[in-house]
Amino acid sequence: MDKNDLLPIGDLARRTGLAVSAIRFYEDKGLIAPYRTMGNQRRFLRSDIRRLSFILIAQKLGLGLAEIEAQLAALPQGRTPTLADWQKLSRSMRSQIDKKIALLSLTRRKLDECIGCGCLSLTRCQLYNRDDRAGTGGTGPRFVLD
Amino acid sequence: MDKNDLLPIGDLARRTGLAVSAIRFYEDKGLIAPYRTMGNQRRFLRSDIRRLSFILIAQKLGLGLAEIEAQLAALPQGRTPTLADWQKLSRSMRSQIDKKIALLSLTRRKLDECIGCGCLSLTRCQLYNRDDRAGTGGTGPRFVLD
DNA sequence: GCTTGACCTCAACTTTACTTGAGGTTGCAC
DNA sequence: GTGCAACCTCAAGTAAAGTTGAGGTCAAGC
């Protein structure tokens, strides 16, 4: 833990591409916990670059900050991941990507059917709601794509 | 255009699974334009069910309401789509789904590499930023996944 | 030893996509 | 011809994910 290994917030911002304000915001949310100098300035570990990268990637996968926090907090001591932790998280994210792709593929398939059948009549379309069936048949919201 | 074909907002809500307030909100945003009774109550066409379904699907694809409005407004007279319009929109959405799937697949591939190489060292990882390269090499934000 | 850019806190504002509530009106069923 | 569920408007609130600004402090180079 050489002094030179501690980064001020501006450096971290430059290296991750995040705004300084965003990093402070993440600290607020408990996603990252920097040291402080005697003068109350934040000092980050190099490994925090990794942590922030993880956050950015997880966000791309559609996780909210709360969920990401949960993932990170589930690590032993809630610390920055070790290699093993890291791989575990990565694999879990991989499976989330798989699910997303599967969902999109399904949507695409249904959309294809919809285009194919010209189902503006909406009597058969899988994508949209069961139309008038909903009027005569069951109630309950969210027919579409769920 | 039989009187019986005009739906009050509550019926439309029930059939689409949307909240009444959400439908009013969409009207506000210009996504849908109901008739009014003499007493100022909204009356929707059956085809508006379709219009709302379209909105819901487009949202699932990650479009914002503004973009959806643009798509719908681009139709002749900005009216509810005809069969041909509909198919055109659907195909355009299909290609957006394709793009999303492609992006996710790429992410997944990179993630696999990342898991494989144990690149906590961050010297080779494609997913995260170029780490210290960013310090010594080029500047500029957003290294991650763009 | 001082100047100046980087840093600090805290409050308020922004955007998207709605929901909730107050206070009032309509229209269908009996 | 009346009751009451369903409708109306408009303002305010909510949640997520930050940004912006005011007013003030720190620390590194000359």
Q: In this model, does residue A135 exceed pLDDT 90?
A: no
Number of domains present in the structure of chain A: 1
Render pLDDT for A19-72 as a digit per residue (tens, 0 to 9): 999 999 999 999 999 999 999 999 999 888 888 988 888 887 778 899 899 888
Q: Round and report the angstrom distance from CA (B18) to C1' (C16).
A: 17
Output the domain CATH number for residue A87: 1.10.1660.10
Residue A136 lies in a domain: no
In a domain, B44, yes or no: yes
- Per the domain annotation, does B121 fall within a domain? no
The predicted model scores a pTM of 0.75
Position A67 in a domain: yes
**Pairwise pLDDT comparison (A144 vs B13), residue with the higher score:** B13
Most confident of A8-12, A79-83, B82-86, B99-103: A8-12
Cα separation, A52 vs B122, whole angstroms: 13
Q: Of B138, B63, B14, B31, which is closest to residue A130 (Cα–Cα)? A: B14
Distance from CA of A140 to the nearest CA of B (A): 7
Residue A25 Cα distances to A3, A50, A139, B144, angstroms: 25, 17, 42, 19
Residue A75 covered by a domain:
yes
Cβ–Cβ under 8 Å, residues B54 and B47: no
Identify the pLDDT of residue A82: 65
Q: Are B67 and B26 in contact (CB under 8 A)?
A: no
Nearest nucleotide to B22, CA against C1' atoms: C18
**Lowest mean per-residue pLDDT among A13-27, A126-140, B28-42:** A126-140
Domain interval for residue A56? 3-93
Distance between CA atoms of residues A13 and A34, nearest Å: 13
| Residue pair B128/B113 in contact by the 8 Å Cβ criterion | no
- Asked if B50's CB is within 8 angstroms of A120's CB, the reply is yes
Kindly state whether residue A13 falls inside one of the protein's structural domains. yes
pLDDT, mean of residues B69-84: 70
Single-letter amino acid code for the residue at B136:
T
In a domain, A125, yes or no: no
